[in-house]
């Protein structure tokens, strides 16, 4: 499993998307189904930003890292 996310992508997930999902979840009601889904989304965003690998990017063969030089 190689990293497929660049630093900016990781920071946006950890510092913008996850906190916004948590706040919106709190605003719509902490025990509601929508809030639980948002909390799960926030957890996924934090986990993928921590490890630098997004399974969805891998599924579609995407990478936000750009071209990587091959070392021999």
Q: 15-57, pLDDT tens digit by residue?
A: 999 999 999 999 999 999 999 999 999 999 999 999 999 999 9
Where residue 1 falls among pLDDT bands split at 50, 70, 90? confident
Cβ(9)–Cβ(56) below 8 Å = no
Whether 24 and 38 have beta carbons less than 8 Å apart is answered as yes
Two structure tokens written together for 19: 């906190």
> Given a cut of 70, is residue 69 above it in pLDDT?
no
How many other C-beta atoms can be found within 10 angstroms of the C-beta atom of residue 72?
Answer: 2
């Amino acid at each position: 499993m190689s990293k497929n996310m660049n630093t900016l992508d990781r920071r946006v997930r950890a510092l913008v998307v996850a906190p916004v999902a948590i706040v919106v979840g709190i605003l719509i009601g902490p025990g509601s189904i929508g809030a639980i889904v948002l909390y799960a989304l926030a957890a996924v965003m934090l986990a993928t930003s921590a490890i630098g690998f997004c399974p969805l990017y891998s599924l579609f063969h995407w990478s936000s890292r750009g071209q990587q030089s091959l070392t021999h």
